[in-house]
Chain A
Amino acid sequence: MSAAASVAGAAVIWIILLGPVITLITRMSPGDLASALTGPGDLDPLITSVESGLVTLGVLILLCTPLAWMLARGRLPFPRVWEAGLLCALLLPPLVIGLLLVFMVGPYTWVGGVLDWLHQSATNTFLALVIAEVYESAPYYVLGATAAFASVDTRLEEQAGLLGDPPRRVFRRITLPLAAPGLAMSLAVAWARAIGAFGAVVIIAYHPFGIPLQIYTTLQETGLYSALPYALILLVVALPLPLAAYIWSARAERRRRG
């Protein structure tokens, strides 16, 4: 009896959490979706979001993975200071990040000056969109990737070294495969954050439109119903990577258990 009650309770919470998704699907018809996406330029926000999201992921992998590894292996002095900085970035409201980014990389700053000299700008450009998405998603990726690397037993790395592998090969053959499920999940979370970034984006990169801004402007200009197809597109674009990462992690874990 109590087991059945627990399952029922869990199911109620699950349905409540999934409520927005269920609402979105039940409120939409294929016709709404088709009419929202068949006009000229209708797919541009989607393309912008996917492109900026992919570039953001590339930046995170290249710059934040080594940082996460160094944090996990205690290779940085004063580790608490580094962690506090990451938490600070995580806890900063996105709107505030956008506001501060204007004062950091805007046209009247020295960074803006350098970018201007390079015929670039960090406001209302694709670059600005990527910068905003990186700031909104990086802390999630770094913290997740740090935990993924920290979960790899250093004694295994040590053993691989004693069996003749230099550190780079140990990283490739032991550290990376063992941390991969956690890294994939962190990357998936970062992707969802990047593709759905709005707070910082609305201030520093109002143009070009990604999907979140398309939803916002459609909502402002033509009402709730017109924004729903874009909400569904955002969901469809944002979800597959996390889902794939989750399924792949689960399969990797099952394979390890044999």
Chain B
Amino acid sequence: MLSADVEVDRRDFTVRAALSVADGERVALFGPSGAGKTTVLEMIAGLVTPRRGLIELNGRVLTSTAPPAVAVPPWQRRVGLLRQDPGLFPHLSVRANLLYARSAAGGAELDSLAAQLGIDGLLPAMPAQLSGGQRHRVALGRLLLAHCDALLLDEPFAGLDAALRRTLTALVSHLCAERGVPSVLVTHQLTDAQAFASRLAVISEGQIVQEGAPDEVVLRPASRLVAGLVGYLGFVPAGDGLVAGVHPDRVVPGADPGRGLVVSGDIVAARPSGAGWEADVRAGDAAFTCRLPGRPAGERVSVTLLDAPCFGPDGALRDVTHSRSSNPA
């Protein structure tokens, strides 16, 4: 069990995060670049000292600013950190890298993990001979063989192509669950966070603004701020001073009041997106972006927002059921 309640000052804002991760649980810390996600991980790893805080791992106090102050050095924390740069030691072979940690076991465990990671044929190779994906696999294997008590993943696959990222995220998620260690992934890619985590924590300007199951956070964002972070591309009036969030993937073309809020507006721009089209729509003073199955015909469009979350003037989520139309134009 990993728990961290930390506070540290940054130039623009103060990072305040309280996080608790059970054994085998996978938490994704999701937020935009510069939100303080990496700082939280670095505090847990002991690379950054919090101004105030308490970090515990399996009942062991790693950091405590309350007297008597405790600051266990990084090399005694048993916390593994995997970054975007896999950080393989260039003068050591893949095998030596994998067995770098003194606690790392060789023999059967090395062979089995190497096979699981698909790097069993690369053990004598040097890191410079590996592809980007292979380096990440080796770095992950090194971390797992070190038998850390917690795994911290700082956007480890951000530089890789989407398919490889998906494969590696699924692999790391599976291995973390199998090992039963608490693990935290930091990412600004919602799809990575959803693929990895059993729980999602959204962070903005150093504050965790919502925590919950990944689908729950996306479908029921606690505020307009969270909605914007998890991919809602616009808000339209929904009556009674409320606004409804428009998620491009939660829109169906045509007016179907039985299924949700209907919005009509003028198409400002349209472009191909994936297998369909993406359109920027202006509805009165409101603007939003939605995905459509095909090229929009004409200059106006009506769409139905499926189960759109509504927010009050204070930006907080309101429980509202839609079966009406919003046509401010």
Give bound CA distance, A167 to B75, whole Å: 8
User: Which residues of chain A (145-183) have a CB below 8 Å from chain B?
Assistant: 153, 155-156, 158-167, 170, 174, 177-178
Known: A255-B126, A256-B126, A256-B128. A162 touches B90 (CB 8 A): no
CB pair A257–B80 under 8 Å, yes or no, is: no
Known: A163-B100, A163-B146, A256-B90. A158 touches B129 (CB 8 A): no
Q: Which A residue sits closest to B79, measured CB to CB?
A: A162
A192 to B: closest C-beta gap in Å: 26
User: Which residues of chain B (186-207) have a CB below 8 Å from chain A?
Assistant: none
A169 to B: closest C-beta gap in Å: 8
Known: A164-B146, A258-B125. A155 touches B87 (CB 8 A): yes
CB pair B89–A174 under 8 Å, yes or no, is: yes
A105 to B: closest C-beta gap in Å: 41
Partner pick for A164 among B47, B85, B90, B101, CB 8 A cutoff:
B101
CB pair B45–A162 under 8 Å, yes or no, is: yes
A210 to B: closest C-beta gap in Å: 37
Tell me, yes or no, whether B103 is within 8 Å of chain A by CB: yes
A45 to B: closest C-beta gap in Å: 40
Residues of A within 8 A of B47 (CB): 158
Known: A255-B126, A257-B126, A258-B128. A164 touches B87 (CB 8 A): no
Known: A163-B101, A255-B126. A155 touches B83 (CB 8 A): yes
CB pair B45–A164 under 8 Å, yes or no, is: no
Interface string of A75-91 (1 = CB under 8 A from B): 00000000000000000
Give bound CA distance, A159 to B140, whole Å: 12
Interface string of A222-258 (1 = CB under 8 A from B): 0000000000000000000000000000001001111
User: Which residues of chain B (49-104) have a CB below 8 Å from chain A?
Assistant: 73-81, 83, 85, 87, 89-91, 100-103
CB pair A159–B81 under 8 Å, yes or no, is: yes
Known: A163-B100, A164-B75. A156 touches B87 (CB 8 A): yes
Give bound CA distance, A231 to B24, whole Å: 72
A184 to B: closest C-beta gap in Å: 14
What band does the interface of chain B fall in when counting residues whose beta carbon is under 8 Å from A?
20 to 34
Interface of A is mostly: helix
Tell me, yes or no, whether B142 is within 8 Å of chain A by CB: yes
Residues of A within 8 A of B143 (CB): 163
Q: Which A residue sits closest to B143, measured CB to CB?
A: A163
Known: A155-B85, A163-B142, A164-B103. A256 touches B91 (CB 8 A): yes
Q: Which A residue sits closest to B100, measured CB to CB?
A: A163
Give bound CA distance, A100 to B132, whole Å: 56
B89 to A: closest C-beta gap in Å: 6
Q: Which A residue sits closest to B77, measured CB to CB?
A: A162
Max chain B C-beta neighbours (<10 A), residue from A156, A163, A165, A178: A163
Known: A156-B87, A161-B74, A166-B73. A258 touches B81 (CB 8 A): no
CB pair B91–A258 under 8 Å, yes or no, is: no
Residues of A within 8 A of B77 (CB): 162
Residues of A within 8 A of B103 (CB): 164
Interface string of A5-49 (1 = CB under 8 A from B): 000000000000000000000000000000000000000000000
Residues of B within 8 A of A177 (CB): 91
Residues of B within 8 A of A167 (CB): 75
Residues of B within 8 A of A155 (CB): 83, 85, 87
Residues of B within 8 A of A164 (CB): 75-76, 78, 101-103, 146
Interface string of B117-128 (1 = CB under 8 A from A): 000000001101
Give bound CA distance, A164 to B125, whole Å: 24
Q: Which B residue sits closest to A158, measured CB to CB?
A: B47
Q: Which B residue sits closest to A181, measured CB to CB?
A: B91
CB pair A165–B128 under 8 Å, yes or no, is: no
Residues of B within 8 A of A170 (CB): 75
Residues of A within 8 A of B142 (CB): 163
Residues of B within 8 A of A160 (CB): 89, 100
Residues of B within 8 A of A255 (CB): 91, 126
B104 to A: closest C-beta gap in Å: 8
Chain B residues in the interface with A (C-beta under 8 A) = 45, 47, 73-81, 83, 85, 87, 89-91, 100-103, 125-126, 128-129, 142-143, 146
What are some 7 contacts across the A-B interface (CB < 8 A)? Answer: A153-B87, A158-B87, A159-B81, A159-B87, A163-B143, A164-B103, A257-B129
Chain A residues in the interface with B (C-beta under 8 A) = 153, 155-156, 158-167, 170, 174, 177-178, 252, 255-258
- Top 4 nearest A-B pairs (CB, nearest first) are A258-B126, A258-B129, A159-B87, A163-B101
Known pairs A153-B87, A178-B91, A258-B125; list 7 more (Cβ under 8 Å).
A160-B89, A160-B100, A161-B73, A163-B80, A166-B75, A256-B128, A257-B129
